[in-house]
Amino acid sequence: MASADQIRLLLVEDVPQVAQYVRGLLNAQSQVRLVDIVADGTQVPTRISEHRPDVVVVDALLQGRLRGMQLVKQLHDLRIGVPVIVLTVPQNPVNVDPEKGIDEVLSMPFNGYDLITRIAGVHKTAAAATAKGPSRLIVVFAPKGGVGKTTIAFNLGVAASGLGLRTALVDGSIQFGDLRGLLRAPRDAPSMLDLPTDRISESDLADVLWRGPADVDILLAPPRIEMAEMVLVRDVEKTLSLMRRLYDLVIVDTGVGLDELTLALLDQADTILEVVTYDATTIRNTIAMAETFQKIGYPPSKVQYLVNRADSAAGIDPGDLRRALGRDPEYQIRSDGPTVGPTSNQGAPFVTAEPGAGVSKDVIEVARSLLGLKAGAMAASAVKASAKPALAGAR
């Protein structure tokens, strides 16, 4: 079974013999992959964000500072969104209670079949519960260069991460590597060129993504222009499918024009976020793009329009843009050179560096609205995490 289809399990167990027993059972099959065994309950939230398991098994009798059932309660309170199976013994009965974060119970002694069916069962239920939107692929596109695609893709990604979504960015402007440049990623940071050309697995992905500001993982473009032609569209497509499995949201920045890669990215997108500005070229090209999209067969709902620098119409009648789009644009972001310029020059996201600025509020609002999140959803812990200094370091 391809590793991308395996269920990722994190085991919280401080009795080495039990841990070894579970490991042995899992070694004999390929449906479930044990990503880590944690003996200290206090380490579990960190390990969950590191490994992103699909299922967590917790020993009810876990000892230490955080005991088994305290940990289960904590995971529930943290709303980790990962189903929990409690491992126990007949002398210590535990009842299934999803309201308390106990999605399943497994009592000793158990065999491999019991273990796997429980894990697969809670995983299936959890996947069905989130099936309405487990991941979104948003491709930021524009009918003209220089309108703010890269700036918006990056800040939108950081805002979404701050809103609690596991977010990844893709530097789809592969010749110039706009995200690479904006974030000042080191030359030796991993990039699309490091993707294995054959089968891509989750472990390969960890090796090719670069951790940017606010813990946003980034698939970078190659470091030099001429290397762009070495990137295989097929590999990027496969990688995107895998990323969709691991992240709630994947945001792709694109370069100028409609080359083979951009077309492939647009095809895979759930939503094309088309950035427009008030200028005559944009208006002309937007109409041409809309015709092209229609010919390709994209439904009108696949495209959402964002007017960047929406408060500077520069002599253009907003009605002209509206007519070109065929409707009112869905989103607007104001122009704010004093905020956007200096933060971008430092490779920092203005949404967290200058959260009080109007332009930051606009981007956060776009993120909420685009992702269907309610106002006020930004978790305090997430804000703290995303306020970390830019470029905390490559993996």
Ligand X SMILES: Nc1ncnc2c1ncn2[C@@H]1O[C@H](COP(=O)(O)OP(=O)(O)OP(=O)(O)O)[C@@H](O)[C@H]1O
Per CB under 6 A, residues contacting ligand X are 142, 145-151, 173, 178, 255-256, 308-309, 333, 335-337, 340-341, 344, 359
Nearer to Mg ion, 81 or 257 (CB): 257
Residue 352 interacting entry, from ligand X, Mg ion, none, C-beta within 5 to 8 Å by type: none
Report what 271 binds from ligand X, Mg ion, none; CB cut-off 5-8 Å by kind.
none
Residue identified by tokens 């930004």 is 378
- Residue whose token pair is 């890269």: 150
Q: What is the spatial distance between Cα 10 and Cα 22, in angstroms, rounded to a whole number?
A: 11
- Residue 303: C-alpha distances to residues 278, 306, 385 (Å): 18, 10, 31
Shortest Cβ 272–ligand X spacing (Å): 14
Residue number with the smallest Cβ distance to Mg ion = 150
The tokens of 336 are what?
């704010």
At 107 the three-state DSSP class reads strand
Question: Under a CB-based contact definition with an 8 Å cutoff, are residues 54 and 141 in contact?
Answer: no
CB of 173 to Mg ion, least distance (A): 5
Smaller CB distance to Mg ion: residue 164 or 305?
A: 305
From the list Mg ion, ligand X, none, which binds 145 (C-beta under 5 to 8 Å, kind-based)? Answer: ligand X
* 144-174-170 Cα angle (round to 5): 95
Nearest residue (CB) to ligand X, 54 versus 178: 178
**28 and 58 in contact (C-beta within 8 Å)?**
no
The residue among 75 and 269 lying less far from ligand X, judged by its C-beta, is 269
User: What is the smallest separation between the CB atom of 179 and Mg ion, expressed in angstroms?
Assistant: 8
- Residue 134 token pair: 């487990």
DSSP annotation of 41 reads G
Instruction: Give the nearest distance from C-beta 368 to ligand X in angstroms.
Output: 18
Provide, rounded to whole angstroms, the least separation between the CB of residue 187 and Mg ion.
19
Nearest to Mg ion of 149, 368 (CB atom): 149
CB of 300 to ligand X, least distance (A): 23
Helix count (H) and strand count (E) of the chain?
Answer: 15, 13
Distance CA 311, CA 305 (A): 15
List the single partner that 13 binds among ligand X, Mg ion, none, CB under 5 to 8 Å by kind. none
Minimum Å distance from CB 20 to ligand X? Answer: 52
Residues 6+ apart with CB under 8 A from 289: 143, 274
In the range 68-87, which residues lie near Mg ion by CB under 5 A?
Answer: none
User: Quick one: what does residue 338 bind among Mg ion, ligand X, none, with the CB cut-off 5 to 8 Å set by partner type?
Assistant: none
State which of residues 150, 161, 343, 344 lies at the interface with Mg ion (CB under 5 A): 150
Q: Cβ 109 to ligand X, closest distance in Å?
A: 59
- Sequence-distant (6+) residues with CB within 8 A of 337 are none
Q: Binding partner of residue 341 among ligand X, Mg ion, none, CB under 5 to 8 Å per kind?
A: ligand X
Among the listed residues 59, 171, 178, 279, the single contact to Mg ion using CB under 5 A: 178
Task: Report the residue number, 87 or 152, with the smaller CB distance to Mg ion.
Answer: 152
Which residues contact residue 182 at a Cβ distance below 8 angstroms, ignoring those fewer than 6 apart?
150, 151, 154, 344, 347
Token reading at 333: 């972001």
Nearest to 310 by CA among 327, 294, 292, 322: 322
The binder of 359, among Mg ion, ligand X, none, by C-beta within 5 to 8 A per type, is: ligand X
- CA 387 to chain centroid, in Å, comes to 18
Q: Measured from the CB atom, is 104 or 178 closer to Mg ion?
A: 178
The residues that touch Mg ion, with contacts defined as CB under 5 A, are 149-150, 178
